[in-house]
Amino acid sequence: MFDIKSMRRTNNDIFRQLEELIIENEQLKKENKKLRAENRCLRTENARRTQRLEALETDIEDRINKAVEDAVAKATAPLLETIAEKDKEILRLKAQIGKNSSKPSSSNGFKKIPNNREKSEKKHGGQPGHKGCRLDIPKNLDELVKEGKAEHIILSDVADGEAYVSDWTVDVKTIIVYTEHRRSPGKPPEIEYGLQLKAQAVYLSMVGLIAYKRLSQFFCETSNNLLKVSKATLANFNHSAAKSVCLSGYINDLLNGTVIHVDETPVRTSERCGKNGIAETAGKSTYQVYIRTYSNRTTTVLTASPNKTEDSVITDNILTQFHGIVAQDHEAKFYHFGNKHATCGAHLTRELKGMLELQILPWAGEVRQFFLEMNEQKKKDLHSGKKSCEAALLCHYESRYDELVNDGKNLLAKMEEKSFGYDELRRMVNRLEKYKDNYLLFMRDYEAPFTNNEAERDLRHCKTRQKVSGCFRSWQGVVDYCNIHSLLATAKKRGQNLLNTLASLFSKQVPAEQ
C-alpha cells in the first residue's frame, strides 16, 4: 500500500517547486523585457551616434575642402590677375599689329596681317562677260599687213591648187629700222632715237619697273648689240615724256564730272620739295612724301606733295574748284572740299570686321552686316534700272542706322574706361554719329559710290614700285612718275594704246640724244 502522507508531501514539494519556477519565470520575463527595452535604447543611441559621426565626418571633409580651396584661391589670385592683364595686353598688341599696314609683312617674320576683306562667292577664273585672251588670227590680217602693223609669211608643203590646212605660228620680231632723211644743206646732221623706241623705253621703265641698267642691256640684246642706250638717255626719255604731259585737260574732265575719288599714299625719296620750291636732300636717310590721286571712271591725275596737310591739297588746286561728290577714306582734310562726301564703306566694313575679330565686339558685326545689306540692295536697284532708293526703304535704313548707333552707346556705357576695346568702340560710335550723312550718302544718292576703290586702284602701282625700287632718287623723279602715270592710267581707262600714247609725247620733241 502506498503511503498517502508521503505522496501528499511529495506533491506539496512538487507544487512548491512549480510555484517557485513560475515566480522565477515571471522574474526572468520581466528581466528579459527590461533587457529588450535597454537594447532598443542602445540601438537608438548607436544609430544616433552613427548619424552624428557621419555628419561630423562630412562637416570635417567640407571644412578641409573649403580650407584647401581658400588657400589655393589666395595663392593663385595674383597669378590669375597677372595672366588676365597679360591676355588683355596680348589682344591689344595683336589688334595694333593687325591694323598697322605701313610696313610690308615680309619685313617682320612675326607679323601676320588679318584679311578683313569679304570672301566672294564667285568661282575662280574668268567671270561671265570677261573678254578672254585666246590666241587667234585676226580676220583683217591682210589690212594689217598693208598698214605695216603685221607681217604674213607663208610656208607651203602642198602644190598650188591642192587642198590644205593652215597651221599658224604667232611671233614677234625685233628689227632695227634706220630711217635716213635727206634734206638741203644748212644745219649740221643730227641723229636721234625714234618715237617707238622712246615709247617702249618709258613703258618698260615706268610700267614694267625695269631699272635703267637692265633696260639698257635689254635694248642691247634685242638689237644684236646695235643699240647701246645709256642710262642717262633713258632717264632723259622719262623726263622729256613727263614734261610733255598736259594735265589741264584731265583736270577739266575731273571738274566736269559728278564724283571725284581722292586718296594718297606715302612713298620714300632721297629728295623732297622744300621751302620756295628748293629741293632738300636727306643725306643717308630718306624722306616720306605723298602721291595723291584724283580720279573718276575715265580720268586719273596724280600729284606729288612733300606732306599730307590741307595746304598741299589747296596747292594741287583741284578739289578747291570742285563742287560735286568727293569719295574718300575718311581723311579729315578732304571734308573741307566739295559739296558732298561719300566716305568709303569698304574701309568701314574692314574696320568693323577687325573690331569683331580682334576686340571681340559683336556689335561691330551687326553694323558691318547692315552696311553690306544696304550695298546689296543698291546693286539690285541699279541692276533693275532704278536710279534711287525707295523712300520707305530709305527711311527704314535711316532708323536702323540710328538704332545701331544707340546700341553702341549703350554697350559703351556698360564697359569700363580703358578696358580692352573701349577706345575702338568709342571712336567708331562717335564717327558713325558725326558722319552719318557721309556714310549714308551712297543710299541717298545713287551717284555716290559705296567704295573708294577707284582711287585705291590708281595708287596700287605706286606701292608696287616702292617694293621693287625702295625709293625715288630725286624729287623730280617723283613728279615725272606722277605725270606719266596720270597719262597712262587715263589712257588705259579710255581703252587707248599705251605705246602709241607715249609715242605721241615725243612727236614734237627735240632730239633726246645727238
Q: Quick one: average pLDDT of 238-264? A: 94
User: Using 50, 70 and 90 to split pLDDT, how confident is the model at 214?
Assistant: very high
Cell 609725247, located at residue: 505
- pLDDT of residue 377 exceeding 90, the answer is yes
Of 368, 365, 362, 364, whose CA–CA distance to 349 is shortest? 368
Q: Say how many Å lie between the first and final Cα of the chain, rounded.
A: 188
Least confident residue range of 96-110, 184-198, 230-244, 309-323: 96-110
pLDDT of residue 118: 62
Least confident residue range of 13-17, 192-196, 305-309: 13-17
CB 443 within 8 A of CB 371: no
Tens digits of per-residue pLDDT, 16-63? 888 888 888 888 888 888 888 888 888 888 888 888 888 888 888 888
What is the spatial distance between Cα 476 and Cα 248, in angstroms, rounded to a whole number? Answer: 19
DSSP string spanning 350-412?
HHHHHHHHHS--HHHHHHHHHHHHHHHHHHHHHHTT--S--HHHHHHHHHHHHHHHHHHHHHH
- pLDDT of residue 231 exceeding 90, the answer is yes
DSSP string spanning 302-336?
EEEESS-SHHHHHHHTSGGG--SEEEESS-GGGGG
- Strand (E) or helix (H) holding 292: strand 287-295
Distances, alpha carbon 504 to alpha carbons 15, 64, 337, 487, 508, in Å: 159, 94, 35, 11, 8
pLDDT of residue 124: 75
- pLDDT of residue 127 exceeding 80, the answer is no
- pLDDT of residue 344 exceeding 50, the answer is yes
Q: Quick one: average pLDDT of 130-156? A: 87
Tens digits of per-residue pLDDT, 280-327? 887 778 889 999 999 999 999 999 999 999 999 999 999 999 999 999
User: Using 50, 70 and 90 to split pLDDT, how confident is the model at 203?
Assistant: very high
- pLDDT of residue 110 exceeding 50, the answer is no
pLDDT of residue 134: 80
Cell 625695269, located at residue: 210
What is the spatial distance between Cα 499 and Cα 147, in angstroms, rounded to a whole number? Answer: 17
DSSP string spanning 114-166?
---SPPP-PPSSPPTT---------TTHHHHHHTTS--------S-TTS----
pLDDT of residue 99: 59
Tens digits of per-residue pLDDT, 429-458? 999 999 999 999 999 999 999 999 999 999
CB 204 within 8 A of CB 215: yes
- Strand (E) or helix (H) holding 281: strand 279-281
- pLDDT of residue 77 exceeding 50, the answer is yes
Q: Quick one: average pLDDT of 262-273? A: 91
pLDDT of residue 208: 92
Question: How many C-beta atoms lie closer than 10 Å to residue 372's C-beta?
Answer: 15
Least confident residue range of 7-11, 222-226, 420-424: 7-11
